[in-house]
Each structure stands twice: as structure tokens, then as C-alpha cells.
Homo-oligomer: A and B are copies of this chain.
Amino acid sequence: MISIKEVTKQTGVTVRTLRHYHQIGLLIPAGKTDGGHRLYGESELKKLQEIQFLKSLGFTLKEIDTMLVDEDHDWFSRLQGQLKYIIREKEKLDQMEKLITGLMNEFALEGKVDIHHIQQLTHFSQQNKFKRKEFLQQQFTEGKEKINELLPNINSGDPDTLEWVALLAQIKKHMAKGVDAIEVQRIIRRILEKDQELFEGNDELSNAFWEVRKSQEKSQSAGLYPIEQEVLDFLEQATEFFLKNEARNIGGKK
């Protein structure tokens, strides 16, 4: 049995929050002192953590209350609703991040940012809203189906499919473990070295491979900040210059 202060120390929530949760009946202290001070036990701490977690998922306190009481509640539709919300928010955040870093760069370069750029960006930021959403929803609904499509090929022992899938599995495994990017790079290189013609012939496989990164590329493909665009232009000129004047020197160099 610990005091309210101890709870705040261990969980980071404020006293006011705990009082509020008590007030609305969400988290009722295990007991009280003679004087009426709240006392919390282990199970209350656990429940508080669950509350914090569910809150971080965007659920309201009212919803959390029913969730923690009523076990037969309609989880799935609520999760689905949450997922939609998340998708929307991620789209927005992607846009925001890009715009803001762009504006910051501009600011850093010129010492000021004026409203004019914002006006231009406003239009832009109101496009590209549905692509990622559609992608993710389809990804979820079709995800299992796609795996099932691939499995027969794997089980039939088709070597092409098998090796591709094996290498892809390695990539994902390394990614999952947070291994050095260099390692992943090596694996990808192996794929590309060995399976050039395989990829070209088999659209399904190459599509599957690129789907892994599709959503990620989407966020990049939506546009670049002004500053980067300038750099890109410069680099493109450099490319042409290089390809025209220096291409031959590369093979024999180093």
C-alpha cells in the first residue's frame, strides 16, 4: 500500500490525474488512511499502466473504463477505427515533418520564412491524402491472402521462389533485430546480383519485394523540400557532366 505521491513517482502521472480517475470511478484506490488519504496497491499500479497504455492509443477514459471492465466488448471494430485514425495521423505527420524541416532549412539558410511559402504549401498538403490510407487498409485485408498465395510456391520447392524468399526472410530478420544497415545492404546486394533476370521476368516477385518498402517510399515520393530540390538540381547537372566527361575513367581508376 503506497501513497499517492509514491504512485506519481513510479508512474509519472500527476496527483490531479489520480484524483480525476478516482472521481470518475476509473481507478479507485485500494484503501484509505484514517484521515482519508488514498492508498494504492500493486494491482492499482498495473491497472494504471494499462490505462496509460490504452490512453496512448487514443482511447478516451470512458472507453478505457468499459474496456477494462467489460471483456466482451467490441474490440475489433474499435481497433479498426483506431487504425483508421492512426493512418490519418501518420499521413498528417509525414506531411508536417516534411514541411517543417523544409521551412526550418529555409529559415536557417535565409534567416527568415515568410507566409508566402506557407500559402504555396497549403495546396500541396491537401493532396496525397488517400494513397497511404488505401495502401495500408488493403495491406491489412490482403496481407494474409498474399502470404497464402506465396506459400504454395514455396512448398512446391520452386528454387527461384525459394531463394528469393529465403533472402527476403534474412532481410526481414536482420531488420527485426536492428542489425547494422551494412549487413542488410550486403544481403540486398546478394539478391540483386543473383536475381537480376529473375526479377525482370517475374513481376509478382519484384512487386512483392517492393511492397515491403512501398509505404516508406510513398512518404518520400510525396515531395521534397525546396532546399533539397535545389541540391537535386545541382546533383543532376553534376550527373550529366560526369557521365559525359568522366565516365570512361571509372573502370580503370583506383
- A interface vs B, CB < 8 Å? 46, 49-50, 52-54, 56-58, 68, 71, 75-76, 79-80, 82-83, 86-87, 89-90, 92-93, 95-97, 99-101, 103-105, 107-109, 112-115, 118-119, 121-122, 125, 136, 140, 143-144, 147, 154, 157, 159-160, 162-163, 165-170, 172-173, 175-178, 181-182, 184-185, 188-189, 192-194, 196-199, 206-207, 209-210, 213-214, 216-217, 219-224, 227-229, 231-232, 235-236, 238-239, 242-243, 246, 249-250, 253-254
**Complexed CA–CA distance, A182 and B210 (Å):** 8
Q: Contacts A108-B144, A176-B220: A100 and B168 contacting too (C-beta < 8 A)?
A: no
A96 & B107 in contact (Cβ 8 Å cutoff): no
Classify the interface of chain A: helix, strand, loop or mixed. helix
Count identical subunits in the complex.
2
- Identify which of B46, B136, B170 contacts A239 (C-beta below 8 A): B170
**Complexed CA–CA distance, A87 and B147 (Å):** 32
- Identify which of B160, B169, B176, B222 contacts A221 (C-beta below 8 A): B176
Provide a sorted-by-A list of 12 A–B residue pairs whose CB atoms are within 8 angstroms: A57-B96, A57-B100, A79-B103, A82-B100, A90-B90, A104-B140, A172-B224, A176-B221, A177-B221, A185-B199, A188-B192, A189-B192
Smallest CB separation, A98 vs chain B (Å): 10
A210: chain B residues at CB < 8 Å are 181-182, 185
